[in-house]
Structure 1
């Protein structure tokens, strides 16, 4: 008996170990089966349009959760999981993605960021729209704020992609969809951008339409900068068409005789009413200034710079109200350039000659009325006369040989007198000046052609000692 008890004491621990080993083996086998079933179920539904998929197995029973985009899709996914080999039953934890009414979506630009928001019908559609946005506007942040929702109208994806294609034309703004209606707001990047977007959205898919287009055009800006050091007049910004472009360049080339005209103008729609009638007189003011800038934006003109002498600044300011079209605003910041150093008579004569070698004082045809295009040249001549106050100056008029001698003589005298009067109105003492006319008796060029005749219709300045 004692021996049997001893043998039994050795047998019991072995049985315990055997049972433990069997339990571990059974547990490992079950875990492997569950992992295998869950993996096969996940693979089976991988190609089905679902969101937030979760699959777990308890033995051969599968718990299947997912957001489905239709009742048919949800039902089909359950059948697919139930058909996986080894699955005994499926615990249905699926649900339908919420339906959106109305179905809204938008693409918004905030200068350096684009946000896609609202609803999207499928994860694949979300991903595709993000790809379209990245391709359309490169190098800026693209934010995905879209949520999945059922109820998208037919051709939603095509409509949204077309809308994203227009966002690059906005500086900032928003293009939004509500069911099949499209609304737009913001500011276009360039002139004509609003019209370009409207034209593109005419290709919206069937059933879609633009409900409201509140995109604003950027300011219509024309600029001119006069640099007396580089001797350039740089024109930039916009003009309405090539005809007005040519008119502005022609006016600038006649007024700015010392400066090279640098043309950076572009044509674009959107010019304010009477645009050219504001730009031309504004360039006239600019031609009378030293360092100067001009900005024409919508119906506002801003001019700043230095007049060459006090009376010129006063004349410019007094004439601004009359020069520009009604309903236009003019803002002028006109100061006076510091006076240049005095010179003697010899240098003064050379300065006159240099100026008149570059341009001539122009008059209306057959008359003694000074052409307004000569205002800038006259101011430079007056500035020169101010630098030699101890000299007297003879203003000499000449004519071409196209008319009768007596008529030419009279016209040349009257034109010389008109220049003298201009100088006196500018504040110079009348006793310093005399006006003389020589008609066509002193030609400077052959009068056989128009070019030679034009050279002879001239005014000269002769510096005399008192």
Structure 2
């Protein structure tokens, strides 16, 4: 027994320990070899979303499966690899997005990609843009998601081709509708040629089930351009319609003229305003002095900005104003604002009403209307604050009117900032600004339980933060219809 205890048992223990160490070492080598070969195989097949690990010869596949059956195909490949016994699927499904939206925006040498795309396109699109539009700076804020139209690749390739020809344009896909907006200069031969090339491209492209909404007008030929003449209006006239805002009249100084134009662009959006304002330095216009005329003109712009359609005419006889406000509360505020802002010598004759309610629309149409409104203009705030600028009251009234047409849908109000300042400050500011917009909508009559305020801080830019123009685009509020 003493020999057994002294020699045999310790010898057996030693042999077992050596064997265990050897087996562990060999198993680790097998696992490392299998992992290395499996990762190389998946990478070679373009499945960089997949994560593979081994315990012995048994594998576990993890990651977010971008498309249905991707994990199944990955496992079938791995099962054929020498040395693999079995692979267990522990992958998660990529989320399905509804409504499905994606956008491509170009401003000269700046290109932004926003929204959602299938996983494969999130990887390949930047290189495609770089090839088709060489020299541009690309900002990508796009998420991989399922739910895209079946021919999404055709839509994306077509949009990239289109924006390679248009220097200031946006392609936006919402489910099965692709909307193209942009600006071209009247009388510009290059822009006219661009438009004609785009027309040919559209005629030659079949989008298969996607409705194309092309909203860019053909630029006027040089011979059709009409030069502005001195206005016969001894005063200031503003008219607003579905086609935009037209201002005609005389201004007592260049300073006031430029102030009026700048303010109109802030209130209505730069692409919506035409101005034929002639400076008559030192003259009394509409029987008003310099400061009185300035006050009256500013009050008129604010009032018209809150009307869906209407017109204002300031002359020596007073102010004639007609039109429809977007809702009852806005109408009361327009009247009150004019009474407070107009100079004492200006007689007001106002024929105002509340615009007729719009027809009910479904979620997709509502999203399109909201997006188109915010593409034309931006909700403005006091610098560094969550106080909404009065210049944006009219824009918000328009959004209230649209939101009242889709009462069955919830709306997420998203706040975004530029990259100035620290992350925490920007996150808090974006949340407060989104909350301020929700408060405005609720006060205007939109049910609070339909609205949700969310802030994203600086995390989702749509343009480069390296330029003032890019920063201005990133400081924004977005309205997103929530899936039911």
Check whether the contact 2:268–2:377 (CA below 8 A) recurs between aligned residues: no
Counterpart selection for 1:260 from 273, 278, 284: 273
**How much has 1:295 moved relative to structure 2?**
1.2
Counterpart selection for 1:225 from 217, 239, 244: 239
What corresponds to 1:243 in structure 2?
255
**How much has 1:432 moved relative to structure 2?**
1.0
1:219 to 1:457, Cα distance in 2 relative to 1, 3 A: closer
Counterparts of 1:448 and 1:219, CA distance in 2: 44
**How much has 1:343 moved relative to structure 2?**
0.6
> Is residue 373 from structure 1 mapped to residue 385 from structure 2 by the alignment?
no
Counterpart selection for 2:346 from 328, 333, 348: 328
Paired residue secondary structure (1:251): helix
Check whether the contact 1:223–1:236 (CA below 8 A) recurs between aligned residues: yes
Paired residue secondary structure (2:360): coil
Paired residue secondary structure (1:402): coil
Counterparts of 2:298 and 2:337, CA distance in 1: 14
Structure 2 matches for 1:392-403, cutoff 5 A? 392-403=410-421
Counterparts of 2:453 and 2:468, CA distance in 1: 26
**How much has 1:317 moved relative to structure 2?**
2.1
What corresponds to 1:444 in structure 2?
462
Q: Kindly provide the CA deviation profile for residues 338-387 of structure 1, in whole angstroms up to 9, marking residues without a partner as x.
A: 22211111111111111111211011111111112112211111111011
**How much has 1:299 moved relative to structure 2?**
7.6
TM-score of the pair, normalised by structure 1: 0.50
Counterpart selection for 2:284 from 245, 270, 291: 270
Q: Which is further off, 266-275 or 256-265?
A: 256-265
Paired residue secondary structure (1:362): coil
Question: Which structure would you say has the larger RCO, counting Cα contacts within 8 Å and 6 or more residues apart?
Answer: 2
Counterparts of 2:345 and 2:444, CA distance in 1: 30
What corresponds to 1:359 in structure 2?
377
**How much has 1:287 moved relative to structure 2?**
1.4
Structure 2 matches for 1:311-326, cutoff 5 A? 311-326=329-344
Counterparts of 1:324 and 1:420, CA distance in 2: 30
Compare the two structures and name the one with the higher strand fraction.
1
**How much has 1:314 moved relative to structure 2?**
2.5
**How much has 1:456 moved relative to structure 2?**
0.8
**Structure 2 unaligned regions, length at least 5:** 1-229
Counterpart selection for 1:349 from 367, 376, 390: 367
What corresponds to 1:340 in structure 2?
358
Check whether the contact 2:419–2:458 (CA below 8 A) recurs between aligned residues: yes
Counterparts of 1:402 and 1:319, CA distance in 2: 35
1:303 to 1:419, Cα distance in 2 relative to 1, 3 A: same
**How much has 1:327 moved relative to structure 2?**
4.3
Counterparts of 2:351 and 2:262, CA distance in 1: 26
Counterparts of 2:317 and 2:431, CA distance in 1: 43
Counterpart selection for 2:443 from 425, 431, 445: 425
Paired residue secondary structure (1:391): coil
Q: Kindly provide the CA deviation profile for residues 53-72 of structure 1, in whole angstroms up to 9, marking residues without a partner as x.
A: xxxxxxxxxxxxxxxxxxxx
Counterparts of 1:234 and 1:354, CA distance in 2: 20
Counterparts of 2:342 and 2:357, CA distance in 1: 30
Q: Which has the larger radius of gyration?
A: 1
TM-score of the pair, normalised by structure 2: 0.49
Counterparts of 2:470 and 2:233, CA distance in 1: 46
Check whether the contact 2:264–2:273 (CA below 8 A) recurs between aligned residues: no
Check whether the contact 1:219–1:298 (CA below 8 A) recurs between aligned residues: no
